[in-house]
Structure 1
Amino acid sequence: MIFLNIVSIASSGIASQLIPGGRTAHSRFSIPLNIDGNSTCHIVQGSDLAELMVHTKLIIWDEAPMVHRHCFEALDRTLRDIMHSQNAALAKHPFGGKVVVLGGDFRQILPVIPRAGREDIVLASLNSSYLWPSCKVLSLTKNMRLSQGYSVEENSNISRFAEWILKVGEGNIGKIMNDEEHEITIDDDILIDDAEDLIQAIVESTYPKLVDNFKNYVYFRERAILSPTLDDVAQVNEFMLGLLPGEERTYLSSDAICNQDPQDQLAEVYTTEFLNTICGSGLPYHQLKLKVGAPIMLLRKFAGEKVLIARMLISPSDYKLPFKFQRRQFPVVLSFAITINKS
């Protein structure tokens, strides 16, 4: 019997929940959030994490096309350095000689680059990395399960939508040119039309008989509304929270600029009221509204464990802010609706 040390990770937090004991790539390999072409992972030689990397034989990375190529290159440089202390020859091999299996689909979500164009996104993708020529590509086309409890054959609505999305990704819908913009036709059976209130129409379609089922966790686990923007997600979540019976509770955060010098004038320019308005990916809202029975998503906790959810200090990773601030808030958000990336 042969035993292999295998590390399984995923690019997104939700995808990592599908892996037993799963972690995100950033969490497992200590990949910097603000990364560039010279970055390395924060793994110290001789540490427990470094020893884990030494004894790891196989790394499985799910949803790989979602992350910036610099993340793979940072891991490559780090593993080469770690394995050099074991065998100098391994420093010449990609990922220090480790077998790395990258899973995902380039027709889905590519790296998100703020205010970037098509060229910038393509250059940030995995297949633009210096590592790509050493990769062996295996394409799997068999029917895969779309979500827990459902497959293409089991649900005709999911099947039709999945097939339509696949055709869009392959460029088989309409007269699609190799350009940034084009028009496609949405099939009538997956389109909601003639609706006066758009949010109410999509809520009734996705969450039928909500009041009768809001205490059933399986009901929420099997459905979600997807949106490309956080603003739309917040609007849908607020609308749906109002549909649930019961008392609404509001929890406010405590925001402050980090490491503030008493003589610094930042506090006068960026007031607490202004800090309260800041929102972004991975950052809980200043005003958190909840009801008993409302589904929530954890932002900064381990999945698959029973934990005591307490307020915690969270700093946004947006390096474009002219200051660094921290928010003390419960690390949760409503999840009636979620962004496409998180799905």
Structure 2
Amino acid sequence: MEDVIIIGAGPCGLSAAIECQRQGLSVRVIEKYNVVHSIYLYPTHMQFFSTSELLEIGDIPFVTPADKPFRHEALAYYRRVASHYNLRINCYEEAVSIDRQQDGTFIVRTRTRSGEDLEYAAEHVILSSGYFDHPNILGIPGEETDKVTHYFREAHPYTGMKVAIIGGSNSAVDAAMELIRVGAEVTIVYRGEGISSHIKPWVRPIFEAMIEKGRIQMRTSSRVTSILPDRVIIESLQDGTTTELANDFVLALTGFRPDRKLLASAGVEMSEDMDKPVFNPETMESNIRGLYIAGVVASGRNANEVFIETGRGHGKLIASHITSIRNTED
């Protein structure tokens, strides 16, 4: 029997594990892939919006040459933190269900990469799963073909290619900036009327200059309605007219959504507000006693509501609540 099982070894899950361990609780972390898998899925050369200080967990300094660290620096940092605290992390093991028992404890059932089914008992469970496994699907013809991806890693494979980027977030802008450096012909197709106000301020002027110079084409108030082997069909949201654009690859950078299967299996209620799980913001406890929410899964469909710098504090709230309950029961 564990005191706490944490599902998800992202920064917020690791932070929760550290805070619980500091309170003398036995902790096991279950991770479907590798440690901080969501960060691993970021573009290879991505630079964070946040400063390194805002990404720190467990009181371990995150020292970088620049104010805003890069992906590879974050991966090294979180590996070091996990090792420093000797966290017990079961990587490449997927949690498939959470069942609360009559005595108030939980059974967490998992499946390993080899197909072995395991189960663990725990007094408390913290669900801190990410959202990068589940891209927002457009539901348009051709989206399932191999010329389309919802993940951008690096620009090299697209050298000299005609690439359409669907979306207008920082990920779309970063991808476009990298792609033009390798000679790709880039067109951004975005539903918004103009460039998003959330673009990184140090990137925005350079991006706008590339548009003005014609290095990047941008179709605002538009959407892709069909993806064909050698072209895409683009519809104007202003007048409904359509145009065809020659195309080799499509990057559908339309965001991601949290997985709801585990929440549903445990009986966690969802609010009508952006499909958020119901929880107490002071303790992060859900409507199921002893089951807590941490990290981006608390944000519902609005995955941009919770970042590492805010979600990393969830673990301290949870650990304090568990400790206070134990002290009361003693």
TM-score range for the pair, normalised by the shorter chain length: under 0.3
- Please report the TM-score for the alignment, with normalisation by the length of structure 1: 0.24
Query: Which gives a bigger RCO, structure 1 or 2 (Cα 8 Å, sep 6+)?
Result: 2
Between Structure 1 and Structure 2, the one with more strand by share is 2
- Please report the TM-score for the alignment, with normalisation by the length of structure 2: 0.24
